[in-house]
């Protein structure tokens, strides 16, 4: 599995038992047989009644032991963005000597099922977080109706885990003014590295258009390259004096996050300044993750706006496409 996935362990704790519909019918049948046995005094009916009654005791014992000794691990990717589907894994581990049957685990309002667990079993799931920030994972429940489906035993699963969800990522581009102001180099050299093909945006230099790709795609296409020493300087300010409301602040976070994400995907080195603090300069995965973490937990501050470093890209230079 992906080594970038984080692991969180949790244990099954005390639970309860509920009677299923087929269990109700079975109990009614037991009562019926018992009534016949009392009224008739027939030994064979008494034997039948005691045999049927033993099924209830066996069912209760097996149901209890079926959830005993269970542990689990839950794994999430390092990069989770709001409103994007995140994939995770739930690994059920059996610490007892006997196999476990017909397990159902409810997590994130989803029910995951497995028929048998001998040592361990991995279940995949998806989760879409609606908002950025730190999310605490709610408790999960392990249930089983083994062996006969008469009773359903439940055990709570405590998950003391938080997940950092980064702001939403959208399709963006830089305003033409950002190019004219020198915030991104317009010069391309023969030795530049290819990194993307995209649609032509209205207002761009028409010399960027690749006519061979345009003929194939039947729409204007651009081939982008980058110099090895190319770098973006990105600046973000959390001062409340710059935004009319929370919605505008969240929109600014989305624009900056989307641009940082594009740089991350294209392996472009960036320097990032938050308020007046320069976080560094790198294209390292962990450097990008540090930036995303800060953007995920960013809040409006009452501090005065900071001075924008020269040639820095701000959220105002970024537009949606």
Domain CATH for 77: 2.60.40.10
Where do we find the tokens 């409006």? Answer: 300
Please name the residues in contact with 309: beta carbons below 8 A apart, sequence gap of 6 or more.
Answer: 233, 235, 273, 278
Query: Does residue 48 sit in the same domain as residue 143?
Result: yes
Query: Does residue 124 sit in the same domain as residue 260?
Result: no
Domain count across the chain: 2
In a domain, 203, yes or no: no
Residue 304: the pLDDT is 92
Residue 1: the pLDDT is 46
Query: Does residue 24 sit in the same domain as residue 161?
Result: yes
In a domain, 225, yes or no: no
Beta carbons of 6 and 79 less than 8 angstroms apart: no
Strands 232-236 and 270-274: what pairing?
A: parallel
Query: Does residue 31 sit in the same domain as residue 46?
Result: yes
Tokens of 48: 């039948």
Q: Domain range for residue 267?
A: 172-185+230-320
Query: Does residue 74 sit in the same domain as residue 143?
Result: yes
In a domain, 217, yes or no: no
Query: Does residue 66 sit in the same domain as residue 103?
Result: yes
CA dist 26 and 86 (Å) reads 43
Residue 180: the pLDDT is 46
Mean pLDDT for back-to-back runs of 10 residues, the chain (321 residues): 47 57 72 78 76 76 82 86 91 87 87 88 90 86 82 78 92 72 48 58 71 80 60 91 94 96 89 90 89 95 90 90 88
In 10 A of CB 230, how many CB atoms?
16
Beta carbons of 144 and 125 less than 8 angstroms apart: no
Residue 165: the pLDDT is 95
Query: Does residue 132 sit in the same domain as residue 180?
Result: no
Residue 184: the pLDDT is 59
Query: Does residue 140 sit in the same domain as residue 177?
Result: no
Of residues 79, 76, 80, 78, the one with CA closest to residue 88: 76
């Amino acid at each position: 599995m992906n080594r970038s996935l984080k692991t969180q362990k949790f244990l099954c704790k005390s639970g309860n038992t509920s009677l299923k519909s087929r269990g109700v019918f079975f109990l009614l049948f037991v009562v019926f047989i018992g009534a016949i046995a009392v009224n008739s005094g027939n030994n064979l009916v008494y034997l039948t009644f005691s045999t049927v009654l033993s099924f209830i005791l066996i069912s209760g014992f097996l149901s209890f032991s079926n959830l005993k000794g269970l542990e689990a691990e839950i794994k999430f990717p390092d990069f989770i963005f709001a409103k994007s589907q995140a994939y995770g894994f739930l690994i059920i581990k059996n610490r007892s000597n006997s196999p476990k049957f017909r397990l159902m685990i409810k997590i994130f309002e989803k029910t995951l099922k497995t028929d048998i667990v001998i040592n361990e079993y991995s279940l995949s799931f998806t989760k879409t977080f609606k908002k950025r920030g730190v999310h605490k994972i709610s408790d999960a429940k392990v249930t089983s109706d083994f062996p006969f489906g008469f009773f359903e035993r439940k055990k709570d699963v405590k998950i003391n885990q938080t997940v950092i969800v980064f702001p939403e990522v959208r399709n963006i581009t830089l305003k033409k003014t950002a190019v004219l102001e020198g915030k991104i180099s317009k010069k391309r050299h023969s030795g530049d590295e290819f990194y993307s093909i995209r649609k032509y945006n209205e207002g761009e230099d028409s010399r960027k258009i690749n006519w061979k790709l345009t003929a194939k795609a039947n729409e204007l296409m651009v081939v982008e390259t980058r110099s090895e020493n190319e770098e973006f300087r990105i600046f973000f300010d959390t001062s409340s004096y710059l935004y009319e409301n929370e919605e505008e602040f969240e929109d600014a976070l989305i624009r900056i996050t989307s641009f940082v994400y594009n740089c991350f995907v294209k392996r472009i080195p960036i320097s990032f300044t938050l308020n007046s603090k320069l976080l560094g300069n790198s294209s390292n995965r962990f450097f990008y993750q540090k930036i995303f973490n800060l953007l995920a937990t960013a809040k409006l501050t009452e501090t005065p706006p900071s001075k924008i470093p020269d040639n820095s890209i701000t959220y105002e230079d970024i537009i949606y496409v």
